[in-house]
Chains A and B, each alone.
Chain A
């Protein structure tokens, strides 16, 4: 039996960067993943947006760290992960959204975030060809950006491996038990022991956690997304329209480093469950919303669509918990509510600091994600 300092369940958005930072700190880490390679769960369904402009301190701090990791990767590691600092733009057409966003600005400014209300004219300059009819203005946060989830997770994976982390793919966890100070982890054909077990199993975090008798309020709902053929560059920021559509809540899109437009929508009503097959509702709904804002995209072709799972918690905030439910050294890093890609690197960095006892008070600011909260609040911008 091989022994490790840490075993992580899941080689996805949370598990891979965490393994990378742990291994960097000379921790002997093994990542167990039932899929054949990294990022094959919900990570590859992520569209690639990374922002710090949230409404909660823990999230903001975590994502600021993530932004630092994504934006400096090319320079530090010499590897392009498709990072673009395009900012996030919330164009506003109605008073209702103006009120919501301006309210939110106060909180965001309090945290020192670079986000401002901009005029309709400024919005038009940021999104060439945007529908001007009724455009009031919007909020814009120039420091946010995007990167390729596919390239990023592979970059983190390679770095993790070169740091000494081990990964075992096609290996599904069947049983996790606490025996004394150690966790015994049984998979289809192997058994491991480790003093620290981390649940980073994304949409499947609940089933893993239940193996240790710890129930967590994580259940996935789904969002659909799509990508177009490459188009001439016309927009830099991620554009988020928070109005409700006929069958959707907000929707958002951006143009990635290859010129392809990636778009995503929150279905209304929410669709719960694990089904990842595309529905026929998505394209007509989102295409109308797209062309309503940008009629110039009429002839741009949709190339592919997919449906990804948001591992949701009742209040829309992640669960990050050490010694969860009294199980010593059981760490949960789950329930990312569809933001695993942008939270993952920052969280990985913070968790690794805490495990290696190098954390400052500042780093421990992820207390808002603790499991024993009442989950009654609501994230304002999911």
Chain B
């Protein structure tokens, strides 16, 4: 069973075991877990074979957005990633089209009227922005419904085992995402006027100002006075040969499998994308005991926070900047990945290819806002607001703050407050949304340390973060500039309390302690990985800021900070190296093999629209024939016509147009129509066995 049995941060809870069947084979699962995770745990990674070309399909978004993980469960096509396993469920591989049960002609169905619900506020999404918004609105005792597609609130926070940036007072900086999710949900729970609808999806926003929501298979039409879209983001994807092989999927899907469902999804992964999502996913993989073979970033440097990059690099993960994936290979599932260096136009350079063995390739090339609900709401004249990633992609800290701003606007539009959103809120939001600022060299930051014990900061890049300043009991850590973006600086007294080391989300604070031995001080390093790799008495490979080998040091102490789910590792290091020591390295590098393919011959077979399996070659042909309207392109090729509703390929189609040299002004984008989520006739017809009492929809 591919399950995570121990994890440095996450608690492995006892769960009830049940059984189900996949293509006749009995499989063990945990009660309530999603089918996709149970199948992954059993080593099953192919869920269906496509109708068009019988290509195997596996998990892709694990977020209920695409339909790549469709299987047949008890006779019905479902998305495995949002369908909970039930005892004795009969699950089958989906081959081609959905089955029709024509033998049911004698079955009398009874239909019930679709219930319409009036509410003051409807919030779509229980992630950081939606919950923060609900919290503010809850204070005014307004009827509020939060609709969320998962079984637990928190959005993507529940996947984030790392500590967050930002400021302590505004957004729980220094806390782990999973803990912030619980805190936000607990805050909202205090208000009985706020109802949480879990396992609920928005199927459509209609012209008569009603919003169609499916909760546990029952359809409701909700008529809110105000609609807040806090639906978050979806992952972008990339075009390369082999991009739809099972084993190639989004970083969010990986975090869902590993961090939420504790599945050891694979043995060896490769990552595309040096933004925060890719870097963090890599770190999470290492924590789960999965080997990260490498990470490629097409730009000359990683776009994510440097502290995230450093964490990964220092653990021993090779980061290939100015590189891209040229092909993913494998028969039915991913087996290897070929990368190559790119030139200034991001074109792969022949002869620089390297092939690595990997069973999983994570695509983490950025996010797109989920804003279609908002667009439709405005078109229908619904009083709507938008916040969080749905509005603009940024960190969770910014999402929470923008939820608060949206709440203010909601309350104002309902007449409960009269003041405008204070200007300094917007200023603060801008700071929280900031892209990383300047990166300083070690030389520029060089500092002479006095005293016998002191913190050393290994963060060199301006990001919105200040928890170390907040926690220092001696107020000896100050920001070197005006805003929260400035780097921290130590001056004054240090008592060696470790508070700054523990809270730093970037794991970028070490403590040098010369109190016992001036020449060979103890350096304390933060550690969030397998305890077995850093036991007292063992020798550890210590690396410097750049991840380069610095010293083989003896581990002299291990402090288990249970409340923070981390350890502080004390190593003895010569004084002249002590301030350079940044981390323990726990992974070894793998050398890639030479690859003998021809890059130029690959790309026409690349899949652009996954749902309908439309290739780049087909798209290019139509563009050459003069097609500039994506609606016409869709009519001709079916690109964008599939189950996901062009959520994945829309941006790819636009980028293909651009790469074929078409002026943006000539291009017409796709017209989006409901439904946002494929939904059964039975649901719309009000055929249902289970009707719930909505007063019990607390869901928290």
Contacts and interface: CB of A to CB of B under 8 A. Distances in A.
Nearest to A298: B682
Interface of A: 35-40, 44, 124, 128-133, 150-151, 153-154, 169, 228-232, 234, 259, 275, 277-281, 283-284, 286-288, 290-292, 294-306
B681 A291 contact: yes
Contacts, number: 176
Contacts of B103: 129, 296
A299 B75 contact: yes
Interface in B594-649: 627-629, 631-632, 634-636, 643, 645
Nearest to A230: B97
Contacts of B674: 278, 304-305
The CB with the most chain B CB atoms within 10 A, among A153, A154, A287, A290, is that of A287
B207 interface: yes
A277 to B, nearest CB: 4
B650 to A, nearest CB: 14
Interface of B: 51, 75-77, 96-109, 111, 113-114, 204, 206-208, 210, 212, 219, 221, 376, 379-380, 627-629, 631-632, 634-636, 643, 645, 668, 673-675, 678-687
Nearest to A306: B673
27 contacts: A37-B628, A37-B629, A128-B102, A132-B106, A150-B636, A169-B629, A229-B77, A234-B100, A277-B206, A281-B208, A283-B204, A291-B111, A291-B682, A296-B102, A296-B105, A298-B101, A298-B109, A298-B682, A298-B687, A299-B98, A299-B680, A300-B681, A302-B678, A302-B680, A303-B645, A304-B675, A305-B673
Given A284-B114, A284-B684, A295-B104, A151 B636 contact: yes
A229 B678 contact: yes
User: Which 5 A-B pairs have CB atoms at the shortest separation, nearest pair first?
Assistant: A129-B102, A150-B635, A277-B207, A287-B684, A287-B685
Contacts of A278: 204, 206-207, 673-674
Contacts of A128: 100, 102
A290 B100 CA distance: 13
A154 B634 CA distance: 11
B645 A304 contact: yes
Contact of A298 (B51, B113, B221, B681): B681
Contacts of B108: 133, 295
Given A37-B632, A291-B111, A302-B684, A231 B100 contact: yes
Contacts of B643: 229, 303
Contacts of A290: 681, 685
B102 A40 contact: no
Contacts of A231: 97-100
Contact of A40 (B219, B629, B683): B629
A42 to B, nearest CB: 13
Contact of A280 (B97, B221, B629): B221
A38 B77 CA distance: 35
Give the most central of A44, A129, A130, A132: most B CB within 10 Å: A129
B691 to A, nearest CB: 15
Contact of B632 (A154, A279, A287, A299): A154
B677 to A, nearest CB: 9
* Most chain B C-beta atoms within 10 Å of own C-beta, residue among A132, A153, A154, A288: A288
Contacts of B104: 129, 295-296, 298
A38 B632 CA distance: 8
B91 to A, nearest CB: 14
A39 B105 contact: no
B114 A304 contact: no
A97 B36 CA distance: 49
Contact of A39 (B628, B635, B685): B635
Contact of A234 (B76, B102, B628, B679): B102
Contacts of B683: 287
B684 A295 contact: no
Contacts of A292: 109, 111
Most chain B CB inside 10 Å of its own CB: which residue of A38, A153, A230: A230
Contacts of A283: 204, 212, 684
Contacts of B635: 39, 44, 150-151, 153-154
B204 A36 contact: no
Contacts of A151: 635-636
